[in-house]
């Protein structure tokens, strides 16, 4: 699974499925892109792949441990349909 943030394709260092969504380990530009989207409204966040493919997501938690940042995302509803 990967993330689509706005129009950017982001590959997390690690991504794990949770009961409500996913937990992703992000660093550098990937983290900054997600933070800009979550806090400044510069785009949507979606999962690419797996059973949550194209599901809109919301950031519900950020935990920093040393040089890595774990971001918890929860699904906001059904996957977007392709036209």
pLDDT at 45 (0 to 100): 92
Q: Which positions of the chain have pLDDT values less than 70?
A: 42, 80-83
Predicted local distance difference test score (pLDDT) of residue 57? 93
Read off the pLDDT of residues 45-62 as tens digits, 9 standing for 90 and up: 999 988 898 899 999 999
Q: Which H helix or E strand runs over 30?
A: helix 28-40
| Three-state DSSP state, 5 | strand
């Amino acid at each position: 699974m990967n993330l689509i943030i706005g129009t950017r394709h982001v590959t997390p260092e690690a991504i794990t499925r949770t009961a409500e969504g996913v937990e992703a380990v992000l660093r550098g530009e990937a983290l900054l892109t997600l933070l800009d989207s979550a806090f400044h409204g510069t785009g949507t966040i979606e999962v690419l792949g797996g059973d949550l493919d194209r599901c809109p997501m919301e950031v519900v938690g950020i935990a920093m441990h040393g040089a890595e940042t774990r971001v918890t995302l929860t699904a906001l509803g059904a996957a977007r349909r392709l036209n």
